């Protein structure tokens, strides 16, 4: 039985699907700059969630959005649109910026072995649906107009504070100073922004008789409405989404449809680097390419992420990444050992599968850390490793092919040289295999090979 920590209830609950197909939505990236390693935390843990559901036998429909409009640098209603900012920085149009970083994301998704989403929804493909959504909210009395947009009146939704357990009175009091906008309540938010005369905003659509663009939160409610239908089973995101973005999604969806948005809400915590927030000014915004330059693959980094629990802050250091890389090499060489056992041993081992224990650990609120500890200590067969690879997407087997018949022949030739006490030849053959990335270990009942890297 899969159990998940549900932010809605603030506790671990049994997962009970709403229908035949488990509907999942993940808030995706804003495609305006190179993603840093922290950005992969969510996608890694939610990829594990989908893989776990599949291992448990569920059918899954998963939607991931790509934010290419409306996400302002403040995460709220002030400041420049991140895409417009990227466009100014790169001397391109915001659409070109989005195209470029979507390609970057897709390349990195493949490197990280994430299962492709069933629907990859680009926010700008849903503008008409956004307009219909605003119409619905307005028809139901949830919005008001100001000079700079259409705002959601959070006072009209009494449950607004519930999801994030917000202290609205405190927020309101704290915001009095400098609270000079036309908003009725400090927690109100724009569902649609008008572009003022002279304002530079290349992404624009005519709605309500003037140019404008959707508010950031709207796209998720709209895309879910169009692609999955409410309520969905599981909505995922980062902990930073709880107080504003997800709170606003819930309010919008209720205002549009009168329905709850999702049954289970999952949030992962942040990655820090050397104990500090990832930020440009600290120079610790590593990308996957930066890690590759230092000799670490995307799979090493995924091993690092999965060695911890999604709900804890993960502190990244190169020492801990080295440990994750070594652990992965150790696992690969245990797979290599599976190729070297006798048929008789293989038969004996295959009667004793351990995968169920590993899946049980992951079913317990995605405890990949505990599952990894089990993998370290259990005696596993190739069949177990195949299923482990499917569950975590770590490319363990693909990166650990059996060696060639020529290489096996070299190992035998070396054994013969050793028997003949021709140590010079034996050493030469060992060196030859070493050049091919293969190490040899002389055990009492024969020579064992392993990968050096
Ligand atoms: P974006 O909209 O592309 O800026 O996505 C940023 C999202 O990535 C945030 O909302 C977070 O949920 C997540 N994120 C950003 N920094 C980190 C971090 N250091 N660790 C984990 N997740 C992060
Ligand atoms: Zn969202």
* Ligand 1 proximity of 238 Cβ (cutoff 6 Å): yes
Peptide bond between residue 343 and the one before it cis (omega within 30 degrees of 0): no
Distance from C-alpha of 73 to C-alpha of 406, rounded to nearest angstrom: 58
Q: Is it the case that residue 1 has pLDDT exceeding 80?
A: yes
268 assigned binding-site residue: no
Cβ proximity of 23 and 232 under 8 Å: yes
Q: Whose CA is nearest to atom 15 of ligand 1?
A: 39
Which of the 8 DSSP states describes residue 140? Answer: T
Cβ proximity of 137 and 256 under 8 Å: yes
Give the tens place of pLDDT for each residue, 111-162.
999 999 999 999 999 999 999 999 999 999 999 999 999 999 999 999 999 9
DSSP three-state, residue 117: coil
HSE-CB for 334 with a 13 A CA cutoff: 20
Cβ proximity of 163 and 251 under 8 Å: no
Q: For the chain, what's the residue count?
A: 453
* Ligand 1 proximity of 28 Cβ (cutoff 6 Å): no
Please give the pLDDT value at position 39. 96
For the beta carbon of residue 285, count every other beta carbon within 10 angstroms. Answer: 18
Q: Is it the case that residue 230 has pLDDT exceeding 80?
A: yes
Distance from C-alpha of 85 to C-alpha of 241, rounded to nearest angstrom: 22
Please give the pLDDT value at position 224. 98
For the beta carbon of residue 391, count every other beta carbon within 10 angstroms. Answer: 19
Ligand 1 atom closest to the Cα of residue 245 is 10
Please give the pLDDT value at position 76. 83
For the chain, percent of residues with pLDDT exceeding 90 = 90
pTM: 0.96
* Ligand 1 proximity of 39 Cβ (cutoff 6 Å): yes
Give the tens place of pLDDT for each residue, 54-100.
999 999 999 999 999 989 998 888 889 999 999 999 999 999 999 99
């Amino acid at each position: 039985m899969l159990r998940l920590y549900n932010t809605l209830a603030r506790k671990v609950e049994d997962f009970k699907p709403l229908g035949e197909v488990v509907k999942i939505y993940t808030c995706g990236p804003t495609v305006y700059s190179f993603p840093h390693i922290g950005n992969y935390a969510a996608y890694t843990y939610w990829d594990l969630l989908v893989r776990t559901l599949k291992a448990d036998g569920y059918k899954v429909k998963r939607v991931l959005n790509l934010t290419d409009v409306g996400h302002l640098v403040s995460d709220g209603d002030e400041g420049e649109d991140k895409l417009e900012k990227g466009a100014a920085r790169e001397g391109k149009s915001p659409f070109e910026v989005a195209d470029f970083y979507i390609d970057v994301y897709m390349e990195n998704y493949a490197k990280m072995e994430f299962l492709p989403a069933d629907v990859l929804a680009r926010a700008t493909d849903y503008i008409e649906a956004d307009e219909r959504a605003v119409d619905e909210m307005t028809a139901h009395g949830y919005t008001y107009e100001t000079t700079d947009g259409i705002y959601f009146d959070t006072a009209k939704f009494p449950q607004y504070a519930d999801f994030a357990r917000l202290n609205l009175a405190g927020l309101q009091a704290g915001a009095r100073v400098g609270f000079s906008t036309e908003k009725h309540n400090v927690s109100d938010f724009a569902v649609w922004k008008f572009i003022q005369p002279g304002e530079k905003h290349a992404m624009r659509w005519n709605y309500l008789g003037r140019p404008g663009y959707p508010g950031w939160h709207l796209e998720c409610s709209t895309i879910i409405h169009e692609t999955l239908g409410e309520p969905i089973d599981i909505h995922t995101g980062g902990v930073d989404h709880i107080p504003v973005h997800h709170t606003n999604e819930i309010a919008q969806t209720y205002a549009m449809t009168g329905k709850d948005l999702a049954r289970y809400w999952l949030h992962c915590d942040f990655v820090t680097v050397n104990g500090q927030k990832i930020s440009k000014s600290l120079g610790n915004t590593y990308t996957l390419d930066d890690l590759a330059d230092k000799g670490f693959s995307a799979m090493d980094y995924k091993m690092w992420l999965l060695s911890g629990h999604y709900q804890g802050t993960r502190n990244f250091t190169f020492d801990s990444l080295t440990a994750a890389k070594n652990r992965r090499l150790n696992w690969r060489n245990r797979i290599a050992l599976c190729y070297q056992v006798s048929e008789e041993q293989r038969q004996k081992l295959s009667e004793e599968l351990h995968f169920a224990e590993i899946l049980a650990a992951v079913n317990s609120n995605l405890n990949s850390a505990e599952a990894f500890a089990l993998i370290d200590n259990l005696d596993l067969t190739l069949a177990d490793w195949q299923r482990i690879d499917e569950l975590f997407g770590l490319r363990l087997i693909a990166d650990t092919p059996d060696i060639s018949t020529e290489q096996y022949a070299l190992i035998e030739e070396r054994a013969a040289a050793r028997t003949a006490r021709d140590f010079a030849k034996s050493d030469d053959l060992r060196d030859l295999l070493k050049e091919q990335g293969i190490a040899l270990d002389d055990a009492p009942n024969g020579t064992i090979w392993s990968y050096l890297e």
